[in-house]
Amino acid sequence: MSHLLALTMAAPALAAVVLLAIPGTSRTALRVVSLIGAVISLAGSIWVATLYDRALGGLQLLDTVPLVPSLGIHLKLAVDGWGVALLLLTGVIIVTGVLASWSVAKRDKEFFLLLLVLVSGVYGVFISQDLFIFFLFYEIAVLPMYLLIGIWGSSHKVPSAGPFGFTWKRFEVGSREYAAMKLTLMLLVGSAAILVAMFLLWSNSGARTFDMQVLEATKFPIAVQHVVFPLVWLGFGTLAGVFPFHTWSPDGHASAPTAVSMLHAGVLMKLGAFGVLRIGMVLVPDAAAWWAPIVGAVAVVNVLYGALCAASQKDLKYIVAYSSVSHMGVVMLGIATMNAAGWNGAVYQMVAHGIMTGLFFALVGLVYERAHTRTIAKMGGFAHVMPVVAGFFTLACLSSLGLPGTAGFVAEFMVFAGAAKGASPWWAIPGVLGAFVTAVYVLRACKTIFWGPAPVDEFAHLQDVQRTEWAAPLVLGSLLVVFGFWPKLLLDFIDAASQGYLGRLPIVALAQAVTP
């Protein structure tokens, strides 16, 4: 199977093409085809994981097709350990996401079509080894979001206040169109920065190539690196929710429909962090080492500030969205440590947070679909009528606050250990504090929504999880626990990649020489 990666990547897109041929009225067929596409990609990812030689590490399963040789653009697909972990995450999230959006009623054909195209883009980013293709897939993954939120999203009102209250005249802050537009524009500005960085790398690569392996082997002049790294950091960082460019995330995730929130917070935000790691840290390591303290300091702000913001929210989706901002801060913190523990933790946190937040959004979607409100103050005692939802929500909360036995703990622990061992040990302090604030807000939300006297009136007959809705809680919930108890499953892949790339870092070589 020399084209396994291409197949995995293309399966959702092919399913989308098949969808085009299916009349929009045969709704079951639409869903089944989408599910098949998603399942094939998941199976492909799992197969990739089994084929990947963890002991060997590095890039494997290479698959090259030249596209524009004159500009040095090739469709070069290969996967490293990080890619394997993130492929698995993507596969799991898209399968559960399709199942969770079984009940989408409005323009369902287009919905699944866009969803599948988007996922193909995500897969592409994780496996492309050509910068140009990487960027292309990145855009494919980011842009459908505009339509997915703008058409299938939900709106609410945000009162005008503050020094910039006058801008409310121009925008309907809180509406889905606003959210979609803000998200797209902010991410596009980020993309512009990435594009500039990309061409800088291309023109300084000597060979005028986008091939990432060649770029890795190139030692860029330090001046170029110092321009490229901040562009990459902020460009990809916007998607990873780096403070202060995170504000698209709460509105976007709150407005997006369930599966889109799952995918976006669960997988797409990881594209940003993956970009910073794969391009920023690996391709321009010298500037990265110089910028790392700033990246880490901002990440620390993300962790604590995101958690505090989440603690102040009254809307359930906003809580989860801000918690994503906080948790992505942990990822960025891990990246900034520039040591094995930190990087392993960062990638592990990507997976852990992806699963956790996917579970969160799936459950929030369930609750919203039934209760028609997201304001937590209006809810109460839901555990009486939907105990399964309550149970899995609690599980997601626990992973969110980093309880041992869940994937969140392993990830956060490694990141904090990496931070403590790194150049700025104090980073661990706000990091851990952020985890505490997380405990406060998730458990408060959990208590308000699910505990208390049995609900009356319109909430008295809310249904618990039904049929396909079981998929997301069951799969994601059990994965959280499995990865919490048995980190080796993923960590071997991640570590193989981290060790390989860390060899490029000058400071690491130094540190290894010092410690026995």
Partner 1 sequence: MSPVTLAIVATVAPAVAALLLLVLSPLRHRGAPAAWVTLLGSLVSLGAAVMLLVARLGGAPDARATIPWIEERGRAMAEIGILIDGVSLPMLIIVCLVALCVQVFSIAYMHDEPPRAFGRYFTLHALFLFSMNVVVVSPNLLQLFAGWELVGLTSYLLIGFYFAKPAAAQAAVKAFWMTKLADMGFLFGLLVLYVSTGGFEWTSAPSATVATWVTGLLFLAVVGKSAQFPLHIWLPDAMEGPTPVSALLHAATMVAAGVFLVVRADPLFALAPGTREVMLWVGSITAVFAALLALVQHDIKKVLAFSTCSQLGYMVAALGAGQAFAGFFHLGTHAFFKALLFLAAGSVIHAVHSNSLDDMGGLRKKLPLTTAAFVIGSLSLAGVPGFAGFFSKDLVLTSLEGKASWIPWAMLLGAAFLTAFYMGRLLIKAFWGELSERSSHAHEGNVAMTGPLVVLAIPSLASGFLGGWLATQSSAQYELHLGLTPVLASVMSLAGLGAAILVFRKGGQAPFTHVLEKLDTFSVVDRTWAGAYRIGLLGVASLAGWIDRYLIDGLINFTGWSALEGGSSARRLQTGLVRDYALLVTVGVLVLVLIGVLR
Scan residues 284-313 and list those touching partner 1 (CB under 8 A). Answer: 305, 308-313
Indicate the residue among 21 and 55 with the shorter CB distance to partner 1.
55
Pick the piece of the chain touching partner 1 (CB under 8 A) from 107-115, 140-148, 277-285, 378-386. Answer: 378-386
Single residue of 46, 173, 297, 489 touching partner 1 by CB under 8 A: 173
Indicate the residue among 114 and 410 with the shorter CB distance to partner 1.
410
Q: How far is the CB of 416 from partner 1 (least distance, A)?
A: 6
Does 482 interact with partner 1 (rule: CB under 8 A)? no
User: In sequence order, what are the beta bridge partners of 60?
Assistant: 79
For partner 1, the binding residues in 227-246 under the rule CB under 8 A are 244
Task: Please tell me what DSSP assigns to residue 65.
Answer: E
Q: How far is the CB of 58 from partner 1 (least distance, A)?
A: 14
- Please name the residues in contact with 474: beta carbons below 8 A apart, sequence gap of 6 or more: none
CA Rg value for the chain: 22
| Closest to 8 (Cα-Cα) out of 47, 34, 35 | 47
Q: How far is the CB of 28 from partner 1 (least distance, A)?
A: 28
Q: How far is the CB of 311 from partner 1 (least distance, A)?
A: 4
Where residue 52 falls (left for φ over 0; alpha for ψ -120 to 50; beta otherwise) is: beta
Tokens standing for 163?
A: 């020094």
Site string for partner 1, 70-89 (x = CB under 8 A): --------------------
| Closest to 282 (Cα-Cα) out of 274, 270, 271 | 274
Single residue of 195, 196, 443, 489 touching partner 1 by CB under 8 A: 443
CA angle centred on 497, ends 53 and 192, rounded to 5°: 130
| Closest to 408 (Cα-Cα) out of 340, 358, 356, 363 | 356
Contact 378, 451 (CB under 8 A): no
Q: How many residues bind partner 1 (CB under 8 A)?
A: 74
Does 182 interact with partner 1 (rule: CB under 8 A)? yes
DSSP string for residues in 153-183: ---------STTGGGGGT--TTSHHHHHHHH
Does 441 interact with partner 1 (rule: CB under 8 A)? yes
For partner 1, the binding residues in 407-436 under the rule CB under 8 A are 409-410, 413-414, 416-417, 420-421, 425, 428-429, 432-433, 435-436
Site string for partner 1, 342-361 (x = CB under 8 A): --x-----------------
Q: How far is the CB of 434 from partner 1 (least distance, A)?
A: 10
**Spatial separation of the C-alpha atoms in residues 168 and 166, rounded to whole Å:** 5
The terminus-to-terminus CA distance of the chain in angstroms comes to 42
Indicate the residue among 41 and 438 with the shorter CB distance to partner 1.
438
For 74, the 3-state DSSP assignment is strand
Does 499 interact with partner 1 (rule: CB under 8 A)? yes
Q: How far is the CB of 305 from partner 1 (least distance, A)?
A: 6
Indicate the residue among 199 and 451 with the shorter CB distance to partner 1.
451
Q: How far is the CB of 284 from partner 1 (least distance, A)?
A: 24
Burial class of residue 37 in the structure, from the number of CB atoms within 10 Å of its CB (0-12 exposed, 13-18 middle, 19+ buried): buried
Q: How far is the CB of 318 from partner 1 (least distance, A)?
A: 9
Question: What is the distance, to the nearest Å, from the Cα of residue 147 to the centroid of all Cα atoms in its chain?
Answer: 19
Site string for partner 1, 448-467 (x = CB under 8 A): --xxxxx-------------
**Spatial separation of the C-alpha atoms in residues 494 and 497, rounded to whole Å:** 5
Does 492 interact with partner 1 (rule: CB under 8 A)? yes
Does 23 interact with partner 1 (rule: CB under 8 A)? no
Q: How far is the CB of 482 from partner 1 (least distance, A)?
A: 12
20-29: b (≥16 Cβ within 10 Å) or e:
eebeeeeeee
Contact 157, 174 (CB under 8 A): yes
For partner 1, the binding residues in 144-163 under the rule CB under 8 A are 158, 161-163
Q: How far is the CB of 178 from partner 1 (least distance, A)?
A: 9
Indicate the residue among 158 and 196 with the shorter CB distance to partner 1.
158
For partner 1, the binding residues in 381-410 under the rule CB under 8 A are 381, 383-384, 387, 394, 398, 401, 403-405, 409-410
E strand or H helix that includes residue 110: helix 108-127
